[in-house]
Structure 1
Amino acid sequence: MKISFIGAGNVAHHLAKRFTLAGHEIYQVLSASSSSSVQFCKEFGGKAIQNLAQLKECDFLLICVPDQKIAEVASGISLRNTTVLHTSGTVSMSVFQNMPYPYGVFYPLQTLNKNTLQEDITIPVCVEGKNPEIAQKIHHLAQQISPQVEHVNSEERQILHLAAVFANNFTNYMLNTAYQIAGEEKKALLKPLILQTFTNALKHSPKDVQTGPAVRKDFETIAKHCELLEKNNPRYLKLYNLVTQTIVKEYE
């Protein structure tokens, strides 16, 4: 199949890599940065184009741009027979309403960075289509690159995206915070703890394996932590107190 992209960032890189490995052809690539389009085509094939008017019919056109740009891009596409998909976790499929082409959503629920194109990670894909026939077509495409594909409507997808922010974005920020507090020389000591934390969370219910002074209501230790933060890392004190209070209430 011929697959084109609008956008040449993290999501586009990972999907293009998977599609080419599955034997599909990258057809055209349009990016706000022409140099990004050219580099993208050097890696995955295809032709870099300069504007939406140059788009040609193909099997699928994936819009991989920031959420606030999707509506503008979608309205500027003049194709009729190409299935157009956006890849956002938060934008409703209704952004395509009244568009003349078949459309849907192809949302990869994974943290993706173009500098780490790992072929062995699973990328769950949430799909949605204008009608059942288009949805099935998108589902078939997703199965080419993922063993975990689900039909998910726009509301469900937005909730999943919110959950993913907690599971990935906030978690990663917390890990960085832990490293900042521990210091460069001591952060390696935290790695076995981090590995065990995620092992426990995946094998059991995270709620059942929560530990620490907030669960124990060890307010003496909590007070000492606050003193240390106020002295050495005051920017994290508010965060510490907020999370601690939330955990205390959760386990009342």
Structure 2
Amino acid sequence: MIRCAVFDCDGTLVDSGGTIHRALGLAFAEHGLELPPRQQAQRVIGLSLVEAMAELAPTQDADLHGRMAQTYKDAFVTLRGQQQVEEPLYDGILPLLDALEERGWLLAVATGKSDRGLKHCLTAHGLHARFLSLQTADRHPSKPHPSMTLQALADCGAAPEHSVVIGDTGWDMRMAKAAGAHAIGVLWGYHDETELRDAGADTIAARPSDVFDQAERLVKTPA
């Protein structure tokens, strides 16, 4: 039996909220708009960019949302060039990945980041090669559509019922359920426990070590 653990990135593997908010601020200012406070703005983290802009600036037209998304990408590249991008791994993530791999889990990522952004992030932490499948917003509909999860599972050869999606937002939980996979919500990211449970989380992890125990319990290996 092949078991697959599909991770969200922002808010699950890395704490990128501060940098995302700075890039959003630059994008909104470029278009003469006021960015909502960080606590409100970070709630869209995990959505693809156009959908995130539509959530944060709902009275604006769809064409503007697309232009704002591109401005955000440009702002992020500028911040990276100025070495102002901060995406530290959450404490406990490396031991979690080690533990899952030691138990034979295959690892994947499903994220609202771009291919380029995800590669930069994972490479900076020496993690790029550890994930068998990397699915991003460049090639899929926004979460909670199940497309990213289904492709990750196909790449790994894993059935949904033998897989878990690990994420910090309701978008991740709904994506998991739509794909037929188990959903583990984590509390160190950007949505709270109530939102995660309402979105269908099978279980809630307060720390990365909890994820390992919960994944092993949700998808048991044959005796």
> Which bin holds the TM-score, normalised by the shorter protein?
0.3 to 0.5
Which structure has the larger Rg over C-alpha atoms? 1
TM, length-normalised to structure 1:
0.35
- Name which structure has the greater RCO, CA cutoff 8 Å, separation 6+: 2
TM, length-normalised to structure 2:
0.39
